[in-house]
Chains A and B, each alone.
Chain A
Amino acid sequence: MSRNPNSSDLLADVLAEMEPDGFRETLLAATLRRVDRRRRIRRGRLIVGAVAVVVGALMLILTRIGHDGVSGLRPTTRNYELVTTQPLPTSMVVATQAFDRERWIVSTSSVPVVRTKLGGGAIRLLNDNELLALANDSQPAVLVRLGPNVQELIFVRRSQQDDLRRQ
């Protein structure tokens, strides 16, 4: 039904009288806020949905890889464990054989056994003077102490003997 534009304008102006100030603008602003909030909620739902799909796909893929290993094939369930064996190479087999009679080792007295025993005093250590007394004029010797229980017996040449005396 087409309305008279003149009466439409009059009616619009009549009804707008005593309208609260800013009512139209306030209502428009409130409506647009709702539009914006709804748009953000819708966008958030899309993002959450997309993330859920991606996570679900990743979990599915990882689960498959974890179960199947490299092949990626899903194994059939088994209620037994298969164990396989194989023979050792000949070189790894340890075998024994009987010695020939000639190889037998028998404990006999054919081997001389040297036994020692504590000396009964026949051997004794020489002291320094006794040691030096063994040296003769033809072979003079000098006993040099380098430290406790460490000494050297040096045989001196006759040509150096006079130098030593002087020192």
Chain B
Amino acid sequence: MVAGDEAAYRMFYVAYFDRLSRYLLVVTAGNEDAMREALQGTLYRVVRHIRVFDDEAVFWSWLTVLARSAHGDERRKRRRYFAFLDRFTQHTALDDLARAPGADDSRLDALLAESVHVLPADERRLLEEKYFERKSVREIAEQRATTEKAIESQLTRIRRKLKSTVLAALHDEP
């Protein structure tokens, strides 16, 4: 990546896109638009400031710093008058994140688990068959005597419901 190798950047993108997205989703309190903007800013900062790291944990910590910096810049662009207050609250919230690597993932996992728990039983069962029993959509459809398209449609609807619930929970967090 330091040498500007395109293949290296592609590997980095595949390895860290989802993880950075989840992190920024927590940082932005569930605001997807802000998350996407901050993600773009983070990647641009990576290109500009990339250097060699000996430890993956240190590399991830560095990425989170860039992500927070990108998010902070985006917020300052939108709300300049309250920049000081934003930095103060952001600093307080992000301190918690910075101290616990992977805190963003564990928080999202926790929110997801809570959301799944409150789903209707049939929807929860469908998720368990797909994601925990690792059944294919075809197998699930055959067991339920329905079509694959119907199963995919149900899964999509359930995932969107979970996403709305998780994002709302992030937004409402103190």
- What is the 8 Å Cβ interface bit string for chain A, positions 6-33, against chain B (1 contact, 0 not)? 1101111111011010011001101110
- What is the 8 Å Cβ interface bit string for chain B, positions 152-165, against chain A (1 contact, 0 not)? 00001001101100
Contact A10 B127, beta carbon cutoff 8 Å: yes
Q: Name the segment of B38-46, B61-69, B82-90 touching the other chain.
A: B38-46
Least CB distance from B8 to A in Å reads 9
Contact B9 A6, beta carbon cutoff 8 Å: no
Question: Which of A10, A14, A32, A34 counts the most B-chain CB atoms under 10 A from its CB?
Answer: A14
Q: How far is the CA of A24 from the CA of B106 in the complex (A)?
A: 24
B22 nearest CB neighbor, chain A only: A15
A27 contacts which chain B residues (CB < 8 A)? 36, 39-40, 43
Q: Is B29 part of the contact surface with A, judged by Cβ < 8 Å?
A: no
- Given contact pairs A35-B9, A36-B4, A15 touches B25 in the complex (Cβ within 8 A): yes
A14 contacts which chain B residues (CB < 8 A)? 112, 159, 162-163, 166
Q: How far is the CA of A78 from the CA of B86 in the complex (A)?
A: 72
Q: Is B108 part of the contact surface with A, judged by Cβ < 8 Å?
A: yes
- Given contact pairs A6-B132, A14-B166, A23 touches B36 in the complex (Cβ within 8 A): yes
- Given contact pairs A6-B132, A17-B159, A39-B4, A31 touches B9 in the complex (Cβ within 8 A): yes
Q: Is A64 part of the contact surface with B, judged by Cβ < 8 Å?
A: no
A28 contacts which chain B residues (CB < 8 A)? 10, 13
Contact A3 B109, beta carbon cutoff 8 Å: yes
Question: Which of B22, B46, B159, B166 counts the most A-chain CB atoms under 10 A from its CB?
Answer: B159
Q: Is B168 part of the contact surface with A, judged by Cβ < 8 Å?
A: no
Q: How far is the CA of A23 from the CA of B162 in the complex (A)?
A: 21
Q: Which of A11, A15, A32 contacts B6, CB < 8 Å?
A: A32
B1 nearest CB neighbor, chain A only: A35
Q: How far is the CA of A13 from the CA of B162 in the complex (A)?
A: 10
B12 nearest CB neighbor, chain A only: A31
A42 contacts which chain B residues (CB < 8 A)? 4
Please name 10 further chain A to chain B contacts, defined as beta carbons within 8 Å, in addition to the given A31-B9, A35-B4, sorted by A numbering. Answer: A1-B102, A1-B106, A3-B109, A7-B113, A9-B131, A10-B127, A11-B22, A11-B108, A17-B159, A32-B6
